[in-house]
Amino acid sequence: MNAIQSLGRATLNWLETFGYSTLFLFASMFGRPRFKNVWTLLSTQFYSVGVLSLVIILCSGFFVGMVLGLQGYTTLTKFGASQAIGQLVALSLVRELGPVVGALLFAGRAGSALTAEIALMKTTEQLDSLRMLGVDPLRRVIAPRLWAGFIILPILVLIFNAVAIFGGYLVAVEWLNVDAGAFWGNMQASVDFSDDIVNGIIKSIVFGLLVTWIAVFQGYTAVPTAEGIGFATTRTVVYSSLVILGADFVLTAVMFGGV
Amino acid sequence: MTIDPILEINHLTYARGERVIFEDISLKVTRGQIIGVMGPSGTGKTTLLRLIAGLLRPQTGSVKVNGAEVTQMSSRELYIMRKDMSMLFQSGALFTGLNVYDNVAFPLREHTRLPENIIRDIVLMKLQAVGLRGAAYLQPRELSGGMNRRVALARSIALDPAIILYDEPFTGQDPMTMGVLINLIKLLNHALGMTSIIVSHDVQETASIADYIYLLSGGHIVGEGTPDELFNSTVPQVKQFMQGLPDGPVPFHYPAGDYQQALLAENV
């Protein structure tokens, strides 16, 4: 009986949190915007969420692409199909690795920073202070961060893909002597714009929304103590990673699985 | 105490989860006065300020500011009401990432359409009032604790509010800074015709400027009166707090089992 009771309580708690976070999302994204300084607020966030994530996105993209090129080459050569390396690199990046790895890195870099920043503002009473000054923190603090994360992740993923493909090219063509024409030609012939690239972008838009939503919500609801900030940041990274991988399976099934 | 109350709290009860923090509290604040709300740590003094500002909603009872019922306001009405009320937070709560000048200018830029040169004049006047005009372009992290609180004070008077709520303004300040803060609170109250509500457990400092004091303990108001009346009170709870006696109605020991038995217990 006790096990059933605690299961019931856990479910109710989960539903309550989920409902609250959904209301929170809608209130901050679609609340009456203040056009007065919307660009200043957004561009600040584009910088801290996007530009500051660039280094990790560029480095990781480059290495992921090189590893793909190397692994793909050794496997494909066994079948005498090393010409198909361009296709392998591009398809796996555009469909899967770009959005997923990009979003995981984004959760680690920008998501955790967002949570920590908002939780710190809560702990130091800055959010209450805003309320006392007659400014709604949902619109002032949360909304620009949500929109920035939502818009910026697809762009970061495109950059990640481009750099990774270049990394794959360097390894396959410049180092392992695959024919450059075959590399680019096979890639062009097999990557379809609407099937592959657009689906990849849709994935990254979904991930962007999920990660930023989790990050700002965890920050906003953090227990306002030093310990609470730490817990909230950890939860952001853990929840985001799980949600990204879970959502990726669902999206892949719908997009490529013929479901 | 009944003439023109700017703030009126009637039969207020507030509980957080199972824990009752206030039970049936009533108090009145007259316009233009400095009111002290004192009590031991953990009695929910800060919570009271949050209830007054509408950051929290009570279970029952009413909070009236200028005759308007705060507990019934929509969040839009609350934001409008708060333009006339400000709070000085314990941590100062200056916005990180904005320098002192921009912090003080923040409420003006948000709520007025004043041109930047007039905002500049107002900001400099407010900073001059707290003695920190020279610190206008410092970042919050470069300020000492006392300066931080003075900047926060300048920011909270930027819109010339009618009521200002002070949350533990003296805590953690050195005696010199305390003196500065006491003078500032008194000066601003008289010069700008504001009403001040100070929540604090610093008895001497609060008593030196308050016109009237409410003493909170265990969710009730256990004493009220002018500072002199409270110092001379014979109510044991009031006496213990005002004179800082270590033991009394509020016991020194947290409730525990028998001491001897605990020491002699075998299986720990």
Q: Tell me phi and psi for residue B131, to 5 degrees.
A: 80, 20
> Is B124 contained in some domain?
no
Nearest C-alpha in A relative to B91? A124
> Is A9 contained in some domain?
no
> Is A11 contained in some domain?
no
> Is A80 contained in some domain?
yes
| Cβ neighbours of A124 in B, within 8 Å | 91, 93, 96
Q: What is the mean pLDDT of chain B?
A: 87
For B130-162, the pLDDT digits (tens) are: 888 998 999 999 998 888 888 999 999 888 899
B95 Cα to chain A: minimum distance (Å): 6
For A114-169, the pLDDT digits (tens) are: 999 999 999 998 999 998 888 888 888 899 999 999 899 999 999 999 999 999 99
What residues of chain A have any CB closer than 8 angstroms to a CB in chain B?
120-121, 124-126, 128-129, 131-136
Q: Tell me phi and psi for residue B162, to 5 degrees.
A: -85, -30
Q: B106 and A129 in contact by Cβ < 8 A?
A: no
> Is B143 contained in some domain?
no
DSSP structure class, residue B245: -
Question: Which one of B87, B103, B167 makes the best mutation probe of the A interface by having the most chain A beta carbons within 10 Å?
Answer: B87
> Is B243 contained in some domain?
yes
Mean pLDDT is highest, among B76-85, B97-106, B176-185, B233-242, for B97-106
**A6 CB-contact burial (10 Å; exposed 0-12 / middle 13-18 / buried 19+):** exposed
B117 Cβ contact list (under 8 Å, min separation 6)? none
**Is the separation of the CB atoms in A139 and A38 below 8 Å?**
no
> Is B138 contained in some domain?
no
For B54-99, the pLDDT digits (tens) are: 888 888 889 988 888 888 888 888 888 888 898 998 888 899 888 9
Give the total number of structural domains in chain A: 1
Q: How far apart are CA A6 and CA A180, in angstroms?
A: 61
Residues of chain A short of pLDDT 70, as ranges, are 1, 32-36, 258-259
Could you give the C-alpha distances from A162 to A58, A65, A166, A181, in angstroms and in order? Answer: 9, 9, 6, 18
Helix and strand numbers (H, E) in chain B are 10, 10
| Cβ neighbours of B154 in A, within 8 Å | none
Q: What is the CATH number of the domain that holds B173?
A: 3.40.50.300
> B163-167 and B85-88: which strand pairing?
parallel
**B76 CB-contact burial (10 Å; exposed 0-12 / middle 13-18 / buried 19+):** exposed
Buried b (16+ CB within 10 A) or exposed e, B95-120: beeebbbbbbbbbbbbbeeeeeeebe
Helix (H) or strand (E) holding B132: none
A134 Cβ contact list (under 8 Å, min separation 6)? B79, B80, B82, B83, B107, B110, B111
Within 10 angstroms of residue B19's Cβ, the number of other Cβ atoms is 9
Nearest C-alpha in A relative to B155? A133
Selecting from B82, B95, B111 the residue whose C-beta is nearest the C-beta of A132 gives B82
Q: B79 and A126 in contact by Cβ < 8 A?
A: no
Give the total number of structural domains in chain B: 1
> Is B151 contained in some domain?
no
| Cβ neighbours of A27 in B, within 8 Å | none
Query: What percent of chain B has a predicted confidence (pLDDT) above 90?
Result: 20
In terms of residue numbers, what domain contains B35?
5-98+160-264
| Cβ neighbours of A128 in B, within 8 Å | 50, 55, 87, 89, 93
What residues of chain B have any CB closer than 8 angstroms to a CB in chain A?
50, 53, 55, 75, 79-80, 82-83, 85-87, 89-91, 93-96, 106-107, 110-111, 155-156
Nearest to A244 by CA among A209, A220, A216, A217: A209
Residue linked to tokens 């699985």: A257
In terms of residue numbers, what domain contains A237?
22-256
pLDDT of residue B216: 87
DSSP-H helix ranges across B91-233: 100-111, 116-129, 145-156, 175-192, 203-209, 227-231
| Cβ neighbours of A141 in B, within 8 Å | none
A126 Cα to chain B: minimum distance (Å): 5
How many CB pairs (< 8 A) connect A and B? Answer: 50
pTM of the prediction?
A: 0.85
**Is the separation of the CB atoms in A25 and A213 below 8 Å?**
yes
| Cβ neighbours of A133 in B, within 8 Å | 82, 86, 106-107, 110, 155
> Is B13 contained in some domain?
yes
Selecting from B53, B91, B107 the residue whose C-beta is nearest the C-beta of A125 gives B91
Say what the ipTM of the complex is: 0.82
**Is the separation of the CB atoms in A48 and A113 below 8 Å?**
yes
pLDDT of residue A32: 65
